[in-house]
Structure 1
């Protein structure tokens, strides 16, 4: 028998994909994240959500970020919109755009509710409402899950609550009406797949329970190892759903779950065509007015209105009865382009109203969705032509319009139309139009000299304000630092260099001004060894709390504007007396800038390390400031003292 030659590696031909393990894994992951796996996972999660609602005997409230995927329409009692980024580290906020007060009706009628699970946003919402609606009860603590929220973060959120309360009170809402909806304070409770459900519905005599239900079970490995189950399957649906919406899914659940993956896009397209891709929203009355309505172009019925304002490239639908209402077309495209168009179109609205010779009657404002441009136009009408009781007239009203006033009027919209969520670009266009001197290019011939509405002039910072201090930091500083460590494992030494505060657009709406702080120089050890050292922070100013804050930024990348990654410290500043200062305003006005001092102190935990910070400022033209950190922790025990000079 002839000998068979040994097989060589070069004799074996491998398919290209078999040698690319990364591509194989990517292919498997895409397969695991299929539409059919997502819909099956959503169904499993919805079964758990309904089981929790039955165990607590509570109605289901969908957080419209993605919560409607997990609630069958027959079980959905209400909608809310709690944005998760309101609770990101250092971004804690009580949203004045999304008050969600409609949830109070459900809570009051059912002694509790089940909105979507959020670790901080909903707890902040509960605590702020408790303090506003039940001021006679003094112990309104902030409740957060301690297994997920550190003591340091909890205390930093708690320190901001009084500011959030003041912001809500400034809206001048009908507190008595809101209080009448519920009989006791709100308290969040958390339920996950690991929780034990009560065998019988529990009673909570001292508070209304807000059960925050996490629908998905935790996936510790990849989706490939989970038998097709996907954690958070309904998230970011615009990237996988092919246009499928929660109502379309639940109305056609059986067929969708029975359809093969390769056929699902065609079946979804069939459903979309049968519904024209959207469901028109109802026409909504904006209270406390009795005459201003908003809605989508599809839902608009001009016959029922005396004045019709449409935002879009198409004209308003014709009336069926032959009635000819007062009519204005604001030519706006869809999306962000439409928000931009609104800035140029709003002067037409101003002239349209001022040219009216009689009462505008019932007003309809419509746009493609009924939830974006139309709300911006309605907000403009409320600010310019509505009195405090909601009566609308074409006669201009004498008042000052600033951001606080606009927020107060916007609260009328959010309480009347809770699910509306106008684009930030739309609201920015409205602010830009309203907070300015009225121009003379309005449509029509009204005498603008009679118009008394004017913006609040840009404030000149008081020399005793934190804002004045913040502005004075701009530009370069020479820097010298002494670092003294009590531990031999941590280096002592000195740093000399420069620090520059460069203004940049605020990276969060909670702050009006922001600097990128960049420090570079040389660190010298006691042995004489030198090496370069750099550091970056973001300094931010919050006008609502008159607070200066320092944030960490991403330093690993070389991007010119590194993003904020987390809060380092908040500073509440106070003025201190300079040399020989006397009490009273007259003496304060005569102070030389060099004599004026600011001081701020703050202590906080950073991991397991306690930072005690002290800031001292002098505000002379050739100024100075100092910062000292006393740091104690398991691996740290040092003092850092820095002097900055112009």
Structure 2
């Protein structure tokens, strides 16, 4: 008879002197690279089964999804963020519209988007909420007449009824944002031509029963949202080495191994022992880095001039371009020797420091573009082809292109009243993101570009674009496009209308709110049970460290007001309220939150301010709203600068707040003055 296992028979590492350390050691061994790769390979078999059952192409939601799809079966990539589906932070991304997914859907009457998530959740928020929001907004924009397709679809097992209702209430705001972006030049008709019917998300997990054969979806294009991993309710230690969402956050465990390298060397990796895996991975990564090949520069449409690539690719295709702009710590001696004055190097270190360096280097780009002889192609590159080069391309597009530009030429500076606005920057960024979906400029990079464009006047350049000649052929025609040239004339009189001032920005407006205000409010009630009256008092925007768990909240105010409300009947009472104002500079958005019972923390999202523009009187207008039960709340902010024209110097502003519903019907107009 075998002797029962004794405690003394268990062997732990010498450092595991405590029980907690022992458990950590066991967990680390469970989450080994070999276990991750085996789990990925196992889950990929389920992904194949889903593709075969629905007979639809596979799209990876990057970066996690690519680990579960071999390159030969991957029809494309999507970039839907889970953070856009987090509770209270729901969003429709204008930066990543994922229009490339529509191409696949239109060609194959649907698609399967693959993603996964780590232990504890049934499916990632990107699949349960972000993509359903995307589908609902696109349906409303592209199929306005089919109102039965405008509703939000979400999985009940992951999204509660309350959360579903809150998201659905925001769809109108998301649609307004999308339509505003369409007005900046995005091709709505082109999107519509790709689809013959609305989109409908459907969810598949390893707990789902797959159809025996391909199904027919006559009323909609199916968007199958496939969670690749099996759900693990407890710890991975009890799963025999299986890891849920093993491909997630690969930067933390893969030691440089990419999904492409995994699939290219899967058999070799799977049969290598845990002890030898690090050496093998290092070898594969080094070989991949030394054999850069196959990549092609990306044309930024609708231009015919500007292209993006990595620095390595630029070295192999440099002869195909008239000029090259590179970003990096050191310039390329080979490119300098070959292109001479047609090569520009912007000295930027790696990471966030490089993004900050970019701000001081962009003036070189301006001089470089103005001094160019006529050229037909410019390549802009950086080490990744996704960050710094995108920022440089964005600056170039804003300085050099109108909506129909195809060629770039040279021109001596001359005066102009046309300025680079935030709307223009957003439009040019949409050109890049639509042409090159993998582009991923960091917030720091975009901030550097915005600061350069909005704070520095730019000389004009000439635009060469093909024009139809009398014989029907295209001829080159030079048209002057002026962009806020520097002027030697004296500064304008302080009484000049605000339209001539430097444009407002969301960030500058937000910082201009700081401090104390005197408020005067008129409340007009159209409901017999609610009184009309006036409110006078004081309000304070107090800056504090952001309390949001969302990383891209850059600044925050605790707003507090107190005063006396006097009804039309003569009744007086003391009143007050609090809100939280948050700024997200990456998306140029201000959000307003209700305050909880503690008077400090956020209890729920009130509204987000969007659709910012200058009205006929030069005021910055921002709008937002939300649905509370059956009552619709709409807010309109009108900001007015001081006569010193400083961006963050706000003299006064007005808040118009309208509430309509079965229980409420009133109009509130509040003036804030210093």
TM surpasses 0.5 = yes
1:452 is the counterpart of 2:484: yes
Task: Sort the Cα spacing of 1:551 and 1:216 in 2 relative to 1 into closer, same or farther, 3 A.
Answer: farther
User: Secondary structure of the residue that 2:349 maps to in structure 1?
Assistant: coil
CA-CA distance at 1:275 after TM superposition:
1.5
Counterpart in 2 of 1:130? 139
1:100 is aligned to 98
1:317-366 per-position Cα deviation (integer Å, ceiling 9, x unaligned): 6369966561211111111111111100000111112223x213211111
Match of 1:41 among 39, 42, 53: 39
Distance 1:513 1:499, change over 3 A: same
- Output the aligned Cα RMSD: 4.2
**Whole-Å separation in 2 of the counterparts to 1:46 and 1:15:** 34
Q: 1:183 to 1:505 in 2, by over 3 A?
A: farther
The aligned counterpart of 1:52 is 50
Unaligned runs of 5+ in 2: 1-11, 116-126, 460-481, 487-498, 520-537, 563-576, 608-624, 627-632, 638-651
Shift of 1:247: 0.7
1:68 aligns with 66
Contact 2:517–2:672 under 8 Å retained in 1: no
CA distance in 2, matches of 1:256, 1:365: 36
Alignment match of 2:383 (pick from 363, 368, 377): 368
Alpha-carbon distance, 1:27 to partner: 1.0
Matched residue, 1:607: none
Post-superposition shift, 1:470?
11
Asked whether 1:309 is paired with 2:325, we answer yes
Structure-2 residue corresponding to 1:113? 111
CA distance in 1, matches of 2:672, 2:261: 65
* In structure 2, distance between residues paired with 1:230 and 1:509: 27
**Structure 2 counterpart of 1:190:** 203
Q: Kindly state the Cα deviation for residue 91 of structure 1 after the two structures are TM-superposed.
A: 1.7
Match of 2:190 among 163, 171, 177: 177
Kindly indicate whether the alpha-carbon contact (under 8 Å) linking 1:303 and 1:321 is maintained by their aligned counterparts in 2: no
Residue 338 of structure 1: aligned partner: 354
- Aligned residues of 2:419 and 2:483 also touching (Cα < 8 A): no
CA contact (8 A) 1:354 1:394 kept: yes
In 1, Cα distance between equivalents of 2:298 and 2:429: 15
Match of 2:437 among 418, 430, 437: 418
Report the Cα offset of residue 614 of structure 1. Answer: 9.4
User: What is the CA-CA distance between 1:97 and the residue it aligns to?
Assistant: 1.7
1:283 aligns with 2:283: no
Name the CA distance, whole Å, in 2 between partners of 1:620 and 1:335: 41
* Alignment match, 2:490: none
Where 2:324 maps in the other structure, the secondary structure is strand
Residue 351 of structure 1 corresponds to: 367
* Residue 313 of structure 1, CA deviation: 2.4
Contact 2:399–2:458 (Cα < 8 Å) also in 1: no
Residue 567 of structure 1 corresponds to 605
Matched, 1:254 2:267: yes
In the alignment, structure 1 residue 389 sits paired with structure 2 residue 427: no
**Number of aligned positions between the proteins:** 533
Equivalent-residue separation in structure 2 for 1:453 and 1:104 (angstroms): 40
**In 1, Cα distance between equivalents of 2:244 and 2:322:** 50
Counterpart Cα distance in 2 of 1:66 and 1:414: 20
1:100-137 deviation digits (Å, cap 9, x = unpaired):
11111111111101123521111111122222222333
Q: What secondary structure sits across from 1:299 in the alignment?
A: helix
Aligned with 1:516 (options 541, 558, 566): 558
Q: Distance in 2 between matches of 1:108 and 1:211?
A: 14
Q: 1:575 to 1:333 in 2, by over 3 A?
A: closer
Q: Give how far 1:620 is off.
A: 6.7
1:141 aligns with 2:151: yes
The 1:49/1:273 distance shift into structure 2, 3 A limit, reads: same
* Distance change in 2, residues 1:127/1:456 (3 Å): farther
Larger radius of gyration: 1
CA distance in 2, matches of 1:116, 1:400: 43
Secondary structure of 1:228's match?
coil
Structure-2 separation of matches of 1:17 and 1:321 = 57
| Whole-angstrom distance in 2 between the partners of 1:213 and 1:219 | 16
Alpha-carbon distance in 2 for matches of 1:346, 1:469: 26
1:538 and 2:580 equivalent? yes
| 3-state SS, counterpart of residue 162 of structure 1 | helix
Determine if contact 2:323/2:339 at 8 Å carries over to the other structure: no
Relative distance call for 1:326 and 1:55 in structure 2 (3 A) is same
Contact 1:186 1:209 in 2 (8 A): yes
1:230 equivalenced with 2:246 (yes/no): no
1:469–1:619 contact (8 Å) kept in structure 2:
no
Q: Secondary structure of 1:294's match? A: strand
CA distance in 1, matches of 2:281, 2:603: 39
> d(CA) in 2 for partners of 1:417 and 1:563?
40
What is the rounded CA distance, in whole Å, between the counterparts of 2:79 and 2:275 in structure 1?
A: 34
Query: Which residue does the alignment assign to 1:295?
Result: 309
List alignment gaps of at least 5 residues for structure 1.
1-13, 441-449, 462-466, 479-497, 521-534, 557-561, 577-592, 605-610, 623-646
Q: Aligned equivalents of 1:379 and 1:430: distance in 2?
A: 8
Name whichever of 269-278 and 217-226 sits farther off: 269-278
| Superimposed CA distance per residue, residues 266-294 of structure 1 (whole angstroms, 9 cap, x where no aligned partner) | 11011112112785642111111112111
Pairwise CA distance, 1:225: 0.3
Residue 423 (structure 2) aligns with? 404
- 1:573 is displaced (CA, Å) by 4.4
CA distance in 2, matches of 1:230, 1:116: 17
Judged with a 3 Å threshold, the aligned counterparts in structure 2 of structure 1 residues 460 and 69 are, in CA distance, closer, same or farther, namely closer
- 1:17 deviates by 6.7
Name the SS of the counterpart of 1:254 in structure 2: helix
SS across alignment from 1:180: helix
Contact 2:458 2:483 in 1 (8 A): no
Report the CA distance shift for 1:361/1:599 in structure 2 as closer, same or farther (over 3 A): closer
Match in the other structure for 1:626: none
Write the distance in 2 (CA, Å) between the matches of 1:320 and 1:15. Answer: 56
Q: Which residue in 1 is equivalent to 2:179?
A: 166
More displaced stretch, 28-37 vs 131-140? 131-140
